[in-house]
Chains A and B, each alone.
Chain A
């Protein structure tokens, strides 16, 4: 297929803007005005959506976060009370710890596994499309309720894991999802299990590294380890960064797995009480909409802050081709 059939990949997304030949001046302004109007027409749905479903609600939740609102009565201005409450809310602090542990343990593991398998598969392994599909499948299913149910049974007291461990002579095993020390671990395993989608992105990135670099390095006598650390890793850093940002944001938003595995409680003993689950329970089970709005804004700040830190840090470890 000619170039039209190939989707551009994340790697070459910085395509240079196409320059158009200059037009005569008067005509340009008329054409430009028409183009402007056409563009705004094409964007009209998006503008409405942005205003009504995105920016409007963000602004509204900022206002609501300073109120006491239960949906039944109109909101009551309470100043910074919700934010002061957050400072003293130990369940909230616990949910932050749970979420951070989940994110910062599962994402690095997931990315390391994704990179390792991408490196193995990139070496011209025969049957690559089959392996890629098999490893990718869990990423598509991972967020579904059915898989969360499966997890609950696999890691239950009489579940698959304990049956298999029992065959090897282990006895008195805990029900992993029902034990406060292990429940979060089962969810981390579930997230690592969905390493397929970053793996596919890594594979696409590895394809972009010209083989001549390796050949030149081999001729110069660089061993496989040296080539890996001097060529593969530096050239892959933009992709690693890209995957890191995406998976961090994804992991912060995990909800249904924790909800189903804990039966909607975040239990046992709040050990799977993710931030999003706590927000849901405050907002839609207690109908404490003002407090839930404050929680939502804090989540926005956490994600924005983390992304900003990542972008700043990336200056020190991500190499783009031009330097």
Chain B
């Protein structure tokens, strides 16, 4: 009895507080909205500027252009050795290979860590966690030597093959966390029905893992699409350039004169990330809440 009284009392007090603080709530919203606008303003400015003639970009901080230059996109598309879709295709190959690799290899490793008992499990799990923190810069020099001895420099192999070897341990961890949350009774009943480990992994765990797989796919997409460092190291031939490398070529080769087309191509480069962000927000937010990835 006493507790119900107390809860009722608290609820009443809370309602009272809410009613009293309406102006404060509006103030909070105003603050949050203006802060959001300040944060997004550079992005909006870039989008608007991509339609402005270059000489106008540096005169007008506003969003509405006084003169339109939709030609920026055409000019930017053809500014480099190859038309811009050449670089988009290169990036797409790298991204698609990475996504498939991460989905397969990381989920297999995750299944073993989450569901099977085996010799050395604790040690290997610790190594896996430790490797998450390992910066690529530490291994890039010997990797370069290894891949150049295989004649893989200026191919996409150095960027894709490691993903099929579950090198992105972050996603193993994410999927281990997820699989641990699935009820074990499912595996056990499948085992009684005569399923082997591979069938359980493929037919039971994988379908239930769709949210974790989606998170992995979206993050792999965004990270690989944005990745600059390893692409800069492994792809030095301008024809093999991906979108970030093409943008860098653009910055280096063009003077101050063509910021408009440069902005246009930057917008194109950010477009897919933004699209995946809109489509997959649910998985992204869940994913970073799970493992804290960026």
Contact = CB atoms under 8 A, between A and B. Distances in A.
Interface of A: 3-10, 13, 15, 18, 20, 32, 35-36, 38-40, 42-43, 45-46, 48-50, 52-54, 56-58, 60-61, 64, 71, 117, 120-121, 125-127, 129, 131-141, 143-147, 149-154, 158-160, 163-164, 167, 193-194, 197-198, 200-201, 203-204, 215, 218-219, 242-243, 245-246, 249-250, 252-253, 255-256, 259-260, 263-264, 276, 279-280, 283-284, 289, 292-293, 296-297, 299-300, 303, 307
A256 to B, nearest CB: 4
For chain B, the bracket of interface size reads 35 or more
Contact of B181 (A4, A151, A246, A296): A4
B interface secondary structure, majority = helix
B141 A293 contact: yes
Given A10-B290, A49-B162, A283-B140, A42 B112 contact: yes
A7 B135 CA distance: 26
Interface in B7-43: 10, 13, 25, 28-29, 31-32, 35-36, 39-43
Nearest to A157: B58
A114 B267 CA distance: 27
A284 B212 CA distance: 37
A interface secondary structure, majority = helix
Interface of B: 6, 10, 13, 25, 28-29, 31-32, 35-36, 39-43, 45-46, 57-61, 104-105, 108-109, 111-113, 116-119, 121, 124, 127-128, 131, 133-146, 148, 162, 164-167, 172, 177-178, 180-184, 196-198, 201, 208, 211-212, 215, 222, 225-226, 228-229, 232-233, 243-244, 247-248, 251-252, 259, 262-263, 266-267, 269-270, 273-274, 277, 281, 284-294
Contact of A134 (B36, B140, B177): B36
Given A42-B197, A163-B60, 4 more contacts: A39-B121, A40-B112, A60-B145, A263-B251
A140 B223 CA distance: 8
Contacts of A134: 36, 39-40
Contact of B180 (A8, A9, A263, A307): A8
Given A39-B116, A149-B247, A154-B45, A57 B143 contact: yes
B185 to A, nearest CB: 11
Given A8-B180, A53-B167, A218-B10, A43 B112 contact: yes
A144 B270 contact: yes
A69 to B, nearest CB: 8
27 contacts: A4-B181, A4-B183, A7-B178, A7-B181, A8-B177, A42-B108, A49-B105, A49-B162, A49-B167, A56-B142, A131-B32, A135-B39, A141-B226, A143-B226, A146-B270, A149-B247, A150-B263, A160-B61, A163-B60, A193-B39, A197-B294, A200-B288, A246-B292, A255-B228, A259-B232, A263-B251, A296-B138
